[in-house]
Structure 1
Amino acid sequence: MSCLSELNLGPVTPPSASFSSCLHPGARFVGSQLSKGKKYNVEAVIQTTNLPEKTFYGLLTIEHLAEEVPNSTTFFEAEIISRKFPFTTGKWDATVEIDRSHWNELNVPSKFPNYYKDSFDYSALETADHVFMRWKEKFLVPDTTNSSASEHISFSGFYYICLRKTTGVLTGYYYQGTSERFQLLELNYVPQTTFSSFQII
């Protein structure tokens, strides 16, 4: 059973070594993001999934990213790399060179040497141990305790992501044209005993 399998929404035994269902509603990842020499605590929680359409949605919380904002939470949309969402981004100011430099950092060429070619067989990703994605922050979740948060937080960029299914380790790099290059995101899946929210199967 892979991370992208259909899921039972009832109580389940938490994944162990296989982390077989780490992309599901309620899935939680915790870790950090490195930016300008500083490490920030990060939590990502998946809210809903539509795996047949290669998408899911969630909340991304970063602690103390701006001095004026203790915690910032954004709503993000994830695109799972597939024939529908190829390795070439084609938007968000990402050029082919930007794409290739970030996918190279995530070691895509060592697993799929021809990933950048139009003839690449995306069906090979379905059974791979790694899930490649893009996470795009869409908007800042309102914080009634800090109405000025949006003035200090930018979410115009996006993340290049690689999730290893057998370990639940998620690695990513943030890209935004005017920001520091290759801001490292490192998260780990937190097993749980029940799933919440809903998914479309």
Structure 2
Amino acid sequence: MLEVIRGHRTTNSGSNSESNSDLHLTPRPSWLSAAMNNTIQREQHQHQDTSQREENPDLSIASFREEHHLRRIHARSEQQLMRWLMKSTVDTRALDCALLRPGMEFCGVQRITPVALPRFSMLPTFDGQPLPKIEQWDVCVIVQSVDMSRGRVSGLMKAINVPNLPKTVVTHWDGEIVDFVNYTPLTCKWKANGREDTDHWSLFEPVKQVPQTFLQKWPESMRGKRMPRILEDYLFMRWKESTFINVGPSETGLTIEGFYYICMDRITGAIEGAYFDPSTQPNQRLTLSVKNDGKCLAFASSEFC
């Protein structure tokens, strides 16, 4: 969530008052010249191909057969893709989740694992020296609003005992629910590109098991009509912190420029999160579980249950 920042055509349009008699004196735009040249070259190539086929009937037959073969391969691939998508997805339905509603509180920790930390982080290094310490702090999240029809969710996040910070920090966040109607796994903002989306979504075990299904670019014919089967068991979201509630940015030296990739188990309410911000410490993971039974109230303030 919160982490210390690492130091680390205009075209000048001509006057519209020129007379038609002077149009032939106006310089041709570069883009128009390029387009005309491309058209001329394309027509020349087509004429050459036609001439070669007329001179050599065997070449014409061979080209026709090759084009026909390529079209059949493409059509077969499209049919296989559609059959696979239909098998791996279900009809879009309401994504309501009893554990994701206003008033629900989730508590846990956020951890930062140093990049240089070896895989077996609990073991000492070979020279007997301890490995770099994994920083972590307590986190509590309260859901304030949920709108499944629009794929929107919002709430408050409370960071407790952040290293080198004596004060608890509370922020407000807005979220997007990945429902393949309003939002898809593709973020397209907050400095995240397709590769970042793939890398971060694949950190979650449900996506890791069926990455093609979740990360597949949906054809327009299926967009908004079908969704991956894993959405029956999990909810995927993006949480973006927007405002500091009880402190100012200058008081903490923290940033909220990044956002969380979120995976929530519909049955247990367990939440996993992966934080992304290219300007901060990587490998930040969020782990939360349900604290209450949704009996508390959530207000737009820094007060938590």
Per-residue deviation, residues 29-52 of structure 1 (Å, max 9, x unmatched): 000000251110000001112121
Alignment of 1:148-167 (within 5 A): 150-167=251-268
- The separation in 1 between residues aligned to 2:210 and 2:106, in whole angstroms, is 24
Would you identify which runs of 4 or more consecutive aligned residues in structure 1 move more than 4 Å? 147-151
Structure 1: where are the runs of 5+ without partners? 6-19
Q: For structure 2, which runs of at least 5 residues remain unmatched after alignment?
A: 1-93, 114-133, 300-305
1:88 counterpart (178, 186, 191)? 186
Instruction: Give how far 1:96 is off.
Output: 0.8
Corresponding position of 1:187: 288
Q: Comparing both structures, which one devotes a greater share of its residues to strand?
A: 1
- Which aligned pairs between 1:67-82 and structure 2 lie closer than 5 A? 67-82=164-179
Structure with higher Rg: it is 2
Tell me the distance in 1 between the aligned counterparts of 2:212 and 2:172. Answer: 33
3-state DSSP of counterpart to 1:113: helix
DSSP-derived class of the 2:162 partner? strand
1:66: how far off?
5.3
Tell me if 1:116 matches 2:242.
no
Q: Percent identity?
A: 24
Query: Structure 1 pair 197/180, CA: closer, same or farther in 2 (3 Å)?
Result: closer
Match of 2:100 in 1: 23
SS in 2 for 1:52: coil
Aligned pairs, how many?
Answer: 180
TM-score when normalising by structure 2? 0.54
Letter paired with 2:266 = K
Q: Which residue of 2 aligns with 1:130?
A: 234
Distance 1:148 1:131, change over 3 A: closer
CA distance in 1, matches of 2:241, 2:186: 18
Q: CA RMSD in A?
A: 2.6
Higher RCO, 1 or 2 (CA under 8 Å, sep at least 6)? 1
User: Which residue of structure 2 aligns with residue 58 of structure 1?
Assistant: 155
User: Is 1:82–1:125's contact at 8 Å kept on the other side of the alignment?
Assistant: no
Q: Which residue of 2 aligns with 1:11?
A: none
